[in-house]
């Protein structure tokens, strides 16, 4: 068995189908579990699948670089999948225009509070500069957060983990927040999820309705753009 396992990851020819099967199979099982358990945020398919993959790689002594090279095709599809979010945006363009200045105002306020809360929490906890700079872009999608963290002198890997935690917490507390604040408009719910909980929030918003998903996509994209443009400049200006 050990010999067969070693052979599956021995070179690129066998690592590619092994990595693809592990990734897709883990996600399929995680998605099934997610629906069977009533779709709780803590069992989001991305989290459960990640846990399975990490366990297999650690127990099987598989080098992460080998796995990542094998699953590179799935990583490549992240770009087209992100671009495809423009489709629901286009279909709801009229609704977006009717929101007027409410959207830009919510975007700026949400993005500002995300960074301010990260800085406040990090300062209160006495985090090192590297950890603090990795925490600041916690509310944007992973590729942008990693790039922003690196430009600030933080750790891209740590930033990616903090983004994951932020997404999970956002999806976990969003339904309760909506009930307490009596927020029933799917457009508002979706935009808030996109701004505060990036890709995880966008996936959760599509479970609410296509309209919520469209506004979450808009919030995800605009928050990432605003953070990538403004946060490095702001950090240098105030001496972070």
Same domain, 157 and 214: yes
Residue 24 confidence (pLDDT): 92
Instruction: Inform me whether the pLDDT recorded for 175 exceeds 90.
Output: no
What is the mean pLDDT of the segment spanning 179-183?
91
Domain boundary among 30, 57, 76: 76
- Whole-angstrom distance, CA of residue 34 vs CA of residue 46: 10
Please report how many Cα atoms fall inside a 13 Å half-sphere around the Cα of residue 186, on the Cβ side.
15
Same domain, 232 and 122: yes
> What is the tens place of the pLDDT at every residue in 57-68?
898 888 888 888
What is the mean pLDDT of the segment spanning 183-198?
91
- Residue 68 resides in a domain: yes
End-to-end CA distance of the chain: 52
What is the mean pLDDT of the segment spanning 125-141?
91
Write the DSSP string, 90-148. Answer: HHTHHHHHHTTTHHHHHHHHHHHHHHHHHHHHHHHHT--HHHHHHHTTTTS-HHHHHHH
Same domain, 144 and 218: yes
Total domains in the fold of the chain: 2
Please report how many Cα atoms fall inside a 13 Å half-sphere around the Cα of residue 93, on the Cβ side.
4
Domain range spanning residue 31? 2-76
Same domain, 101 and 70: no
Domain boundary among 44, 76, 108: 76
Same domain, 132 and 24: no
- Residue 81 resides in a domain: no
Same domain, 207 and 172: yes
- Residue 147 resides in a domain: yes
Domain boundary among 76, 111, 141: 76
Same domain, 138 and 220: yes
Chain CA centroid to CA 168, Å: 9
List Cβ neighbours of 154 (8 Å cut-off, separation of 6 or more).
130, 131, 132, 133, 134, 135, 136
Tell me the whole-structure pTM to 2 decimals.
Answer: 0.79
Same domain, 135 and 175: yes
Same domain, 227 and 200: yes
- Residue 8 resides in a domain: yes
% pLDDT > 70, the chain: 96
């Amino acid at each position: 068995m050990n010999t067969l396992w070693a052979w599956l990851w021995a070179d690129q020819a066998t690592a590619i189908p092994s990595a693809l099967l592990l990734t897709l199979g883990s996600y399929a099982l995680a998605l099934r579990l997610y629906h069977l358990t009533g779709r709780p945020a803590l069992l989001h398919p991305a989290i459960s699948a990640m846990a399975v993959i990490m366990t297999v790689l650690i127990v099987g002594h598989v080098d992460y670089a080998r796995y990542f090279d094998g699953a590179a095709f799935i990583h490549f599809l992240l770009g087209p999948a992100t671009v495809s979010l423009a489709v629901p945006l286009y279909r709801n363009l009229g609704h977006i225009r009717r929101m007027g200045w409410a959207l830009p105002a919510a975007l700026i306020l949400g993005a500002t509070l995300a960074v301010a809360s990260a800085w406040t929490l990090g300062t209160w906890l006495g985090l090192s500069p590297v950890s603090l700079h990795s925490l600041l872009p916690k509310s944007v999608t992973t590729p942008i957060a990693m790039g922003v963290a690196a430009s600030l002198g933080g750790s891209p890997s740590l930033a990616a983990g903090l983004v994951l935690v932020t997404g999970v917490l956002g999806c976990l507390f969003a339904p309760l927040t909506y009930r307490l604040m009596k927020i029933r408009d799917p457009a508002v719910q979706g935009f808030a999820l996109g701004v505060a909980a990036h890709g995880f929030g966008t996936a959760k918003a599509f479970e609410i309705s296509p309209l919520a998903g469209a506004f979450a996509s808009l919030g995800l994209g605009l928050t990432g753009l605003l953070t990538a443009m403004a946060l490095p400049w702001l950090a240098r200006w105030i001496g972070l």
